[in-house]
Structure 1
């Protein structure tokens, strides 16, 4: 009987040795490196360890807020120090749990996740369903778990600012004081927003009494060292000499984001793999950087309404079609109206368009400038794309929306060519 040709093709591909990657997990963004691979964060590790030191003696650790830009090692350091506290605790029973508040974005979801992670049902005989209980019931089961299993717990709340209120911080920080549990609880709240701690409710700040640690962006040398520690993700000789420095330089120019540097390095390897190349080159890095920028703006712009995307497209079209550096609201409204006609989309009032522009500025996509033209002219608002955004990428991403409805496709193609 003759074999299925498609099965032969798949089997042949699966049997091949990966020519680029030896251990791809080392360049996955969520990978937590071993201590010797952590670069440029000795001071932060020392400071956080000092705040949590009392935990290894069975006493209450300090509550800490870590803040700084994305990709500056906050989550990495928090996980590393919490793990080290647990492994150095001797007879003290320390539990650690990490919660991503961008996923568990309600208090009930977060408490349910904490309870399920810390619970050993064989020890406690307590069942914690993922859903279906009231918030108070999840808290009750959590405290029962803590009392049966632990002397101290360290709870990491990553992206804690994603919660609509601060109640979880209040409840957990006061649990011992209010007699809910005898287990000592230490909170590590992580935020990308530098001023988040200042905006906390006064009662929460009084209860939490947090220490604050600021994580500065990585510089190019630190990023180069971080990537060098992950070179063994690739096979020997696969990376050309300029790949790691270029990935580090790109990330340093933007925000000193280690995640971005790692992401570009990994994607460069994947592009080389798809090209059938045995070497990752500068061209692969540049293409990966472009793809990373597109992905970032797809995430940022993807949630915008069609109307906001049209307003953004009007601004980028003006940038592409003129030599001007910024544009008046009248110019934006005129171009927006033309785009609506070209895409068959209904227009909104001038006032709504101005609101959309302000919203895009709030999201750091656009930059606004006000100019007072006197009694005759009043105040005029000028807008432009934020200077560190890639014009072509933003324009393409904003214009790429299946919700644009056009009655005559030939007219659409002819009209959109001019934008």
Structure 2
């Protein structure tokens, strides 16, 4: 009896462009030989974590830098090497990588760390998804850390999104407060907001001694090297010679963002495949840049209420129709009222619009700065878009209600 079966003609079985597209996924962790331009930063992270190899307390570390500068990549890569080296000496190091943009409450952080490091047959406890209070999750976490590890490393990506920094105090003081006695904890906090430590509560500032490290943006040459290291995601000869230099130059204009460069290259390959082309060319890269920016902006405002989108649309209209690129709240508010009337939205108060603008600033959708009016006259905020207004407008008009403005 034959095991062969006919292929479903609906699907494509031979990819003419990609040999291994996974190499261009943001979640892909490349081997050390594929990491470019971060030797000094890697050494600094390794220095902080080095004691863990011998089962000792590592230094806590805060890493700052713009998006796409390799902060998460280097943290994960060095941590995995620590885990591997420690195991050679019989030391059990485990780590939990947590995206605080998705899990930002104290209970969620503690539960996730516990679930990632727990070995129920060793610890004798389980960490359920729900049903326990925060205090109970902590009790089980301390049990797991002592029973299952010699050192636990906790990487908190986008640490500035934490709802409450109390978890930092409790983790950093766990040994001192005798919550754990057989193990130790190291914290790596990652943020693109260099002033994040100023926002910490006084209790955390006094208890969390740490090293700090700033990652600079990549330059165009480093971006070329990074993309060259991932070129084997494509079949040989598919990528024309001008593609990687162009992709790198476009990403270098945007603060040397390696994540964006990789996104553009992947989208260029997908566009070439979709259009039935045998090669990835310059035109695919330029089209991919626009798609990448639109995708990223869509991700940033996903789930934003229509009022927030209407306010962003007002700022976009002002930016398009003016030679300046930043505007005070009062001017944006007047434009927003016109937008709200056109799409039949109730107008919010100017104070509420100011609050929403601050929220969008926190989310890195816009940039807001306070500007003094002169002695004794107070200050006011000015706001500007961080993305091309054409891209912002295109994304916002996809909203069912704001879409009426396009007609």
Deviations 1:147-172, CA, capped at 9 Å, x for gaps: 22222222212222221222111111
**SS where residue 94 of structure 2 aligns?**
strand
Corresponding residue for residue 68 of structure 2:
71
Q: CA deviation at 1:352?
A: 5.5
Q: CA deviation at 1:285?
A: 0.9
Report the aligned-residue RMSD: 3.1
2:310–2:402 contact (8 Å) kept in structure 1: no
**SS where residue 14 of structure 1 aligns?**
coil
Equivalent residues in 2 for 1:224-303 (5 A)?
224-303=224-303
Query: Following the alignment from structure 2 to structure 1, what is the Cα–Cα distance between the partners of residues 381 and 253?
Result: 27
**SS where residue 129 of structure 2 aligns?**
coil
Corresponding residue for residue 365 of structure 1:
366
Residues 397 and 42 of structure 1: CA distance in aligned 2, closer, same or farther (over 3 Å): same
Aligned partner (choices 67, 78, 87) of residue 81 of structure 1? 78
Aligned partner (choices 377, 391, 394) of residue 392 of structure 2? 394
Aligned partner (choices 28, 38, 43) of residue 40 of structure 2? 43
Equivalent residues in 2 for 1:81-100 (5 A)?
81-89=78-86, 90-100=89-99
1:328–1:380 contact (8 Å) kept in structure 2: no
Deviations 1:190-223, CA, capped at 9 Å, x for gaps: 1221111233223323322101111111111111
The runs of 5 or more residues in structure 2 that have no matched partner are none
Query: Following the alignment from structure 1 to structure 2, what is the Cα–Cα distance between the partners of residues 149 and 331?
Result: 58
Query: Following the alignment from structure 1 to structure 2, what is the Cα–Cα distance between the partners of residues 128 and 353?
Result: 42
Deviations 1:355-410, CA, capped at 9 Å, x for gaps: 6666656656266796969xxxx999796744x531211222233321359xxxxx
Query: Following the alignment from structure 1 to structure 2, what is the Cα–Cα distance between the partners of residues 345 and 173?
Result: 47
* TM-score using structure 2 length: 0.87
Query: Following the alignment from structure 1 to structure 2, what is the Cα–Cα distance between the partners of residues 227 and 371?
Result: 44
Aligned residue pair count:
398
2:175–2:184 contact (8 Å) kept in structure 1: yes
Query: Following the alignment from structure 1 to structure 2, what is the Cα–Cα distance between the partners of residues 223 and 108?
Result: 39
* Residue 152 in structure 1 maps to residue 151 in structure 2: yes
Residues 227 and 416 of structure 1: CA distance in aligned 2, closer, same or farther (over 3 Å): closer
Q: CA deviation at 1:315?
A: 3.6
1:309–1:399 contact (8 Å) kept in structure 2: no
Equivalent residues in 2 for 1:302-313 (5 A)?
302-313=302-313
The runs of 5 or more residues in structure 1 that have no matched partner are 1-6, 406-411
Query: Following the alignment from structure 1 to structure 2, what is the Cα–Cα distance between the partners of residues 95 and 330?
Result: 52
Query: Following the alignment from structure 1 to structure 2, what is the Cα–Cα distance between the partners of residues 330 and 150?
Result: 56
Query: Following the alignment from structure 1 to structure 2, what is the Cα–Cα distance between the partners of residues 189 and 339?
Result: 40
